[in-house]
Amino acid sequence: MTLAWYGHLQFKNFTSLKSLGLFSIVLISWGLAFFEYIFQVPANKLGFKENGGPFSMFELKTIQEAISLIVFALMTTFVFKTEKMAWNHLVGFLLIVLAVFVIFKKW
């Protein structure tokens, strides 16, 4: 979803894309999101406990958010090259990793 949600912010760097209107950008983003959902929905279906998988819905959502954040950070830093990772971003990410631990810990 990172590319669908944030990729259009880089259209200004491409001559053929920078003049697109909002409606065109929404359609392109929906198209990208469609392909991302092709993978996400089956992963949730197969991974859910009640369908024979090992994860609860809370765990599936936690995995999805952690992966989404990692992909966002990598794309923003290394692909878009528009932002620099600061110490507070790293601390925030570590807190999210801690949240993953807390969610998955069997208390």
Per residue in 38-90, pLDDT tens? 999 999 999 999 999 999 999 999 998 888 888 888 888 888 888 888 999 99
Give dist(CA 59, CA 67) in Å, integer: 12
Parse the chain into domains and list their residue ranges.
Answer: 2-104
Q: Give the whole-angstrom CA distance, residue 51 versus residue 67.
A: 22
Average pLDDT of the segment spanning 23-40:
91
For the record, the structure tokens of 38 come out as: 């092709």
| pLDDT exceeds 80 at position 1 | no
3-state DSSP assignment of residue 13: helix
